[in-house]
Amino acid sequence: MDRDATADVNAPHSMGTTIIGVTYNGGVILGADSRTSTGLYVANRASDKITQLTDNVYICRSGSAADSQIVSDYVRYFLHQHTIQLGQPATVKVAANLVRLLSYNNKNMLQTGIIVGGWDKYEGGKIYGIPLGGTILEQPFAIGGSGSSYLYGFFDQSWKDNMTKEEAEQLVVKAVSLAIARDGASGGVVRTVIINSEGVTRNFYPGDKLPLWHDEVEAHDSLLDILNAANPEPMST
């Protein structure tokens, strides 16, 4: 293995990523791709970038995988203590401000951008964006990661208030698939998490079920799939 390839394999794990959070008329929907890379090498093609903090609050992680994981671990621990002391679940705003506090106080050491989303009985569904540096922004929708630069115009054109759950999830899946088509650091599958008063629902969209854009090539069986078939046929060119 040459030196450049070795450097890629030994590089820190980074989630060159597409993460999205949107509000709709009954809650929030979070979405993300699943590609984790070390340099140009794809370390994990099916990672889960949507992490649970409490029963009603989740976060989408981007940037350094190690940094985003340690922030989510600390915040989960603090929220657990908070819930025990108060005797009720923490609000989305409390969770987002804990993420903001850790990100801001360690801004010179952390390389992670986070979207916090959830539902609580006081304010309903809320989305907070916490980019590099620890700023906190409450928004009706938030996008982050390397794929987000391809999506600002799309959201300006497609976003609308008071979407239904189905409309919002379709928007998230469409947006992530668009970013996967254009951003080399985003890829794999699309995962979504729907959070509302009824609880949490996770959905999974494999890569071969996503819409194709522009000149993308349709997914085909891999060589291993063909060889493992009962009656393998010669590969066509």
Which sequence positions are flagged as catalytic?
17
Q: For residue 138, which of 163, 116, 156 has the smallest C-alpha distance?
A: 116
Distances (CA, A) of 152 to 90, 178, 179: 31, 11, 11
**Strand, coil or helix: what is 156?**
helix
For residue 12, give both structure tokens: 């820190």
Q: For residue 116, which of 132, 131, 105, 130 has the smallest C-alpha distance?
A: 130
Instruction: Please state, in angstroms and rounded to a whole number, the distance separating the CA atoms of residues 67 and 18.
Output: 17
Q: Enter the DSSP assignment of 207.
A: G
Tell how far CA 4 is from the center of its chain. Answer: 29
Query: In sequence order, what are the beta bridge partners of 60?
Result: 50, 115
User: Which helix (H) or strand (E) element contains residue 94?
Assistant: helix 92-105
Do residues 55 and 47 make contact, with C-beta atoms less than 8 angstroms apart?
Answer: no
Q: Is 86 exposed, middle or buried (0-12, 13-18, 19+ CB in 10 A)?
A: exposed
